[in-house]
Amino acid sequence: MVDKSLIQSRRILGIDPGVNITGYGVLDQRANKLMIVEAGVIRGGKAELPGKIKSIYEGIKELIDSVNPDQVAIEKLYSHYAHPMTSIIMGHARGVICLAASQSDIPLYHYASTKIKKVLTGNGRASKEQMQSAICREFNLPHPPEPNDVADALAIALCHAYLGKEY
């Protein structure tokens, strides 16, 4: 783990990929201080899958161009044996997000949801409520960001900041 006091500053874009809703959170890290710059969602729209994927790609490219992150952190793909199609569809969203980051020459880091939960709460199987509480506590927020995808994206960026991945 890198001593956070050695890090001058960096901007981290955390992304919670989804085909219908992709959450994002942008954090500035200066020494050992973290600040939310921007957070929100990119919607896939009502189109069929190719249109949704195009909307996500264009939204991520526009976001990268506007916030100019130093690093991108994204949740790894998770596959539940009962719903294999969900992970296949989600792979499309992750693919265009990875492409957008790569085209902008931004380092991309992947984190399993259990790792993110463990880093933020100490429990790799933490509930949504526990994760939202951790985000509220870290950033002194009166209530969790809505929708949940935004809180998840902030958690991904925060996990990356805590782990101190160098750039």
| Local mean pLDDT, 10-residue blocks, the chain (167 residues) | 62 96 97 94 94 97 98 87 80 96 97 96 95 96 95 97 75
Contact 66, 104 (CB under 8 A): no
Tell me what pLDDT residue 6 has.
Answer: 53
Tell me what pLDDT residue 1 has.
Answer: 52
- Size (the chain), residues: 167
Cα–Cα dist 137/6, whole Å: 24
Q: What is the pTM of this model?
A: 0.92
Tell me what pLDDT residue 84 has.
Answer: 80
- Among all residues, which ones are annotated catalytic? 16, 75, 149
**3-state secondary structure string, the chain?**
CCCHHHCCEEEEEEEECCCCEEEEEEEEEECCEEEEEEEEEEECCCCCHHHHHHHHHHHHHHHHHHHCCCEEEEECCCCCCCCHHHHHHHHHHHHHHHHHHHHCCCCEEEECHHHHHHHHHCCCCCCHHHHHHHHHHHHCCCCCCCCHHHHHHHHHHHHHHHHCCCC
Tell me what pLDDT residue 167 has.
Answer: 39
CATH topology of domain 4-163: Nucleotidyltransferase; domain 5 (3.30.420)
